Amino acid sequence: MNCPKCKSENIRIEFVQSGGKSKHKGTGFGGNMNNAARGLTAVSTLGMSNLVWKKSTGGSGTKFKNQRMGLCQNCGNGWKVK
């Protein structure tokens, strides 16, 4: 593989993060029922049940998009590699 600008063979291929997308899901009906039951149990045990029973918060996730980039070590030119 050669640099498209200076035609040098001294290049390096790197993976670069080009973008990311985050999603968050709510607790839903089951999570709300779990939190209500947790609250009632906490009242009857004077808050001691909260030490072991955690609150439902839902879920979240992030996906990243990666691209292959070529970088010439001689002239510093960068380009997308297909």
30 phi, psi to nearest 5 deg: -65, -40
List pLDDT tens digits, range 3-13.
999 999 999 99
Token pair 């080009």 is found at 18
Domain extent listing, the chain: 11-80
Statement: the pTM of the whole predicted model exceeds 0.85: no
List pLDDT tens digits, range 24-65.
888 888 889 999 999 999 999 999 999 998 888 888 889 999
